[in-house]
Amino acid sequence: MAKVCPLQQLTKEQEDVGQQRFKLTHVTLSVESAPGFGLWNQHASLLELLTAAVAVGADAVVLPTYQHRTAFRRGADWQRAPGDELWDAERIAAYLGGEGIRLVREGEPLPDLLPDTHHISYELQCCHGHKHCDVADLATAVRQSMREHLAMSDEAPHYSVGMQLSQLFLSLQTPQSCMYMHVGKNIGTFAPALVASANRIISAIREEHPVFNGLHLRMEDDIAELVESDGGLEHYANLYAQALGNLTFSTNMPIYVASALFSDEAIGGAGEFQQRALKWLREELGVQFSSGLLHKEQFLTAQELEGFTSEQRAAIDSLVLFESGSFVGYSTSSMSYMVQEYRALLGRPRSTSLLVSGTHKELFLGALAFADEAQC
């Protein structure tokens, strides 16, 4: 069960006060997107935010800005951008509206409140360093924390609570969550412009190849040190080859490769590690397990690619990978893990997805997953 670090031990009378005030309180939930967390960590945090909001009956949710990196290199800068440039804000608003919840953008005024309303604003202090915390338990923690704050607040005619959740992606570890699946299935995916670009790529591929395979090759320079310390590129070459062989990738189908390697190469920014990875991909993996390599840089113009941030380009790649016949990714990548989960959510058999892992600790072992619909 999720734990909330209590403000202090409440008496029975104080608990009753907190509960009564909670029933009449205006609740607004938000989440902070922290630098260093990529696309799918931020997307998972958004799903957790929306799940918690629906579970506690919040009145409003703040659509967060998102963070994108300037390059896939260690020490790269991170910048903020409006959330509706990454996510489908209209569809999220429609979903929340069906639950009686209003979606507001960062910086927008909250719904009008009575002038004598007492405002409480804070970040949830949740003891979530442990694992096996389900989103349903998170919602319980949110309710309990608000009741505690309300119980200890000054007497007032009306109350409002604005709570900011931490990014909990690596702390939410559980076999399944039906609540999480419901939100993930109903809010759509990403902004319409990103979906349109992905659909163009998918349509162009299918004109020549009705079925194609997918590969997320997480071999950019910012991960080079981890790969080298875990057996090196040659070790991972064998792991990827084994995975593609197990899923019967063959020279009968092309492979769509999701990676920043090709963009970096095009602008002359590929480092020595990346150049080695590209050489291995083209001369060995691509020859043994595909009829040819495909990537977004072949279908989108340089101007289009430059107009997208790193996380928007990753979203486009993810949308294409959803549609691949089979998919191989990297077990330490949140993108690979969440692509696997969304493929299952969209009806792709779990047997068609495989994540390669080295000797390092698997970050997502037992992580929050979309439950099979039959289990809900």
* 134-183 pLDDT tens trace: 788 888 888 988 999 999 999 999 999 999 988 776 667 776 788 888 89
- Is 265 within 8 Å of 274 (Cβ atoms)? yes
Q: How far is CA 17 from CA 5, 14, 55, 147, 161, in A?
A: 19, 5, 21, 8, 15
Cα 211 to its chain centre, rounded Å, is: 26
Query: So what's the pLDDT on residue 232?
Result: 87
pLDDT tens readout for residues 209-242: 999 999 999 988 888 888 888 888 899 999 999 9
SS3 content of the chain, % helix, strand, coil (to 5): 45, 15, 35
Contact between residue 220 and residue 76 where contact means Cβ atoms under 8 Å apart:
no
Tell me what the pLDDT averaged over the chain comes to: 88
> Please, which pLDDT band fits residue 186 given cuts at 50, 70 and 90?
confident
Residues of the chain with CATH 3.40.50: 3-177, 192-375
CA–CA separation, 236 and 356 (whole Å): 8
Sheet holding 158-165, edge to edge: 102-105, 60-63, 26-31, 158-165, 117-123
Query: Residue 126: pLDDT band by 50, 70, 90 thresholds?
Result: low
pLDDT reading at 25 higher than 50: yes
Average pLDDT over residues 34-43: 88
Identify the band that residue 131 occupies on the pLDDT scale cut at 50, 70 and 90. Answer: low
| Beta strands 158-165 and 126-127, pairing class | unpaired
Q: Region 15-25: what's the mean pLDDT?
A: 94
- pTM of structure: 0.92
Give whole-number Cα distances, 232 to 170, 180, 223, 236, in Å: 26, 36, 11, 7
CATH architecture for residues 3-177: 3-Layer(aba) Sandwich (3.40)
Write down the CATH number for the domain with range 192-375.
3.40.50
